[in-house]
């Protein structure tokens, strides 16, 4: 089953060039995210560059398109252009549109974001009810953090109330990937608290210049694996 592909895995988003992507592979990163056609953030690379990087990976199925697109046809076409088989949907896309995408492209592995907002408090019910509408048509979910200052939905460098993600992870049938402000110093505690299938980091493993730090990624992987082992 596709859900099993996420178990005890790590995604690192925002590779800036092929060299960076290749050493992420060498270190054992399971999935490499490419944020493109975004609602708020500026992409790390151009679409043509992302296509070139993905073509140069040892295993192209590690690549994940992260996008705010909402049209099933446009998403499908963009996945074909990049030659990716996994897409992470962060936009305001309807359950009906996700269903259409799944029907038209059953070959795609689909991840749907669930954005945790401060006004939720500790109440996970709004997100749980929303997730139920998407669950028949997606292969996994990813929780991320809303930034009220910028209105960004993810890649904010901010954590959220992990008790919400924990409830989602325990209640949903599909796997939950935990994102939102994760780095090497908190990912172990996050895994212990939430028990997600997988974890994701973007800004938390970057050097001051915005490029990925080999040292920070190595530490993140080590701490994540320790958390997955239940030590």
Q: Angle 198-72-111 (CA atoms, 0-180°, nearest 5)?
A: 5
- Does residue 132 surpass a pLDDT of 80? yes
Interval 198-213 mean pLDDT: 93
pTM above 0.75, yes or no: yes
CATH number of the domain residue 205 falls in: 3.20.20.70
Comparing 168 with 121, the larger pLDDT belongs to: 168
In 10 A of CB 169, how many CB atoms? Answer: 20
Please give the tally of structural domains in the chain.
Answer: 1
Q: What is the Cα–Cα distance from 78 to 218, expressed in whole angstroms? A: 31
Domain that holds residue 7: 2-229
**Bridge partners (DSSP) listed for residue 143:** 114, 178
Give 90-94's long-range contacts (Cβ < 8 A, gap of 24+). 90/38, 90/39, 90/66, 90/115, 90/144, 90/153, 90/154, 91/39, 91/67, 93/69, 94/70
- Does residue 224 surpass a pLDDT of 90? yes
């Amino acid at each position: 089953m596709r859900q099993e592909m996420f178990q005890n895995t790590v995604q690192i988003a925002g590779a800036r060039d092929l060299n960076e992507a290749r050493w992420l592979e060498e270190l054992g990163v399971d999935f490499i995210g490419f944020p493109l056609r975004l609602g708020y953030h500026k992409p790390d690379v151009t679409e043509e560059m992302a296509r070139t990087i993905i073509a140069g990976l040892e295993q192209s199925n590690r690549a994940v398109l992260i996008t705010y697109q909402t049209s099933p046809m446009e998403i499908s076409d963009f996945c074909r252009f990049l030659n990716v088989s996994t897409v992470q949907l962060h936009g305001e896309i309807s359950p009906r549109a996700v269903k259409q995408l799944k029907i038209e492209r059953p070959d795609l592995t689909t991840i749907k974001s669930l954005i945790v907002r401060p006004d939720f408090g500790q109440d996970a019910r709004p997100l749980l009810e929303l997730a139920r509408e998407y669950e028949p048509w997606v292969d996994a979910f990813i929780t991320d953090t809303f930034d009220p200052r910028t209105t960004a939905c993810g890649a904010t460098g901010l954590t959220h109330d992990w008790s919400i993600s924990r409830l989602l992870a325990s209640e949903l049938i599909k796997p939950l990937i935990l994102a939102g402000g994760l780095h090497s110093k908190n990912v172990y505690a996050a895994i212990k608290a939430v028990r997600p299938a997988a974890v994701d980091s973007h800004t938390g493993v970057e050097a001051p210049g915005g490029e990925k730090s080999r040292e920070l990624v190595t530490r993140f992987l080590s701490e994540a694996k320790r958390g997955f082992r239940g030590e």
